[in-house]
Amino acid sequence: MSKVALVTGGTRGIGEAISRGLKDAGYTVAATYAGNTEKAEAFKAETGIHVYKWDVCDPEACAAGVARVEEELGPVEVLVNNAGITRDGMFHKMDFDQWRAVLSTNLDSMFTMTHPVINGMRGRSAGRIINISSINGQKGQMGQTNYSAAKAGVIGFTKALAQENAFKGITVNCICPGYINTEMVAAMPEKVLESIVANIPVGRLGHPEEIAQTVVYLASDSAAFMTGSVLTINGGQYIANG
């Protein structure tokens, strides 16, 4: 029986590449999404990957969703907390809805999605949790106080949860992508994007597959001694200590 991997926001962008990468590596993948059913169904038809719709901000929907995945596919052995959004704006002009939406989707989701799987993993003495943070959680970014705060929170969550669960055979790691060529980045004004690429030493945006292959490694048995890590994948744009 292949292991079950659950990828939040796994039907588009970086999450889509992660879902495909894990499937190619032999996992049974459950990919979740929020509302873009057309894209999710096309992805399912093309890949055969199971898709599930629920909101990662809703704790009850997450608990029910995980229960359904486990009933249909088996225990979740790999959780990839990937779903995320941006609602950019300078802080002095930001309203509380912009703040709340970003904190809820990017940070509350660490609780709502990890809580329903953690006891199962602890009971089996095995598990992999891989959280997607961001370069902007490491360095901060003008216009993204909400996003930078949430993604920095993901790093702290990762380090603390790793310590709590290391002796149970569960690893918890975090990836901080730089600017990756997805719809999230394509939505940025062209001039802003040009100035960003000019500051990436590798000279281009990252590919979603470059994040996906790191997830596949972290999920593997080979990565058993790696926990609490913060992996920077950003083309050299920001070289962080962790």
Ligand X SMILES: NC(=O)c1ccc[n+]([C@@H]2O[C@H](COP(=O)([O-])OP(=O)(O)OC[C@H]3O[C@@H](n4cnc5c(N)ncnc54)[C@H](OP(=O)(O)O)[C@@H]3O)[C@@H](O)[C@H]2O)c1
- Taking the least distance from each CB to ligand X, the nearer of 41 and 164 is 41
Determine contact, residues 64/13, Cβ cutoff 8 Å: no
With binding defined as CB under 6 A, does residue 18 bind ligand X? no
Q: How many residues bind to ligand X according to rule CB under 6 A?
A: 30
Q: In the set 5, 22, 57, 170, which binds ligand X (CB under 6 A)? A: 57
- Taking the least distance from each CB to ligand X, the nearer of 70 and 88 is 88
Among 92-100, 165-173, 183-191, 223-231, the segment contacting ligand X (CB under 6 A)? 183-191
Tell me how far CA of residue 158 lies from CA of 27, 109, 133, 154, 196, in angstroms.
Answer: 23, 13, 10, 6, 27
Provide the b/e sequence for 153-173 (b: ≥16 CB within 10 Å).
Answer: bbbebbbebbeebeeeebbbb
Give the active site residue among 27, 33, 52, 147.
Answer: 147
- Least separation in angstroms between CB 47 and ligand X: 14
Closest CA relative to residue 232, chosen from 148, 153, 135: 135
With binding defined as CB under 6 A, does residue 105 bind ligand X? yes
Binding mask 129-168 for ligand X (x = CB under 6 A): ---x-x----------------------------------
Tell me how far CA of residue 181 lies from CA of 23, 184, 190, 210, in angstroms.
Answer: 21, 8, 13, 11
- Least separation in angstroms between CB 129 and ligand X: 14
- Least separation in angstroms between CB 121 and ligand X: 21
75: three-class secondary structure by DSSP: coil
Which amino acid would we find at residue 31?
A
With binding defined as CB under 6 A, does residue 15 bind ligand X? yes
Determine contact, residues 228/159, Cβ cutoff 8 Å: yes
Q: Which residues within the stretch 192-231 sit at the binding site for ligand X (CB under 6 A)? A: none
Q: Give the tokens for residue 92.
A: 């002095």
* 217 a catalytic residue: no
Residue whose structure tokens are 């609780």? 111
Determine contact, residues 40/48, Cβ cutoff 8 Å: no
Q: In the set 107, 128, 179, 218, which binds ligand X (CB under 6 A)? A: 179
Q: Which residues bind ligand X (CB under 6 A)?
A: 8-9, 11-15, 32-36, 39, 55-57, 82-85, 105, 132, 134, 177, 179-180, 182-185
Give catalytic residues, as residue numbers.
Answer: 147
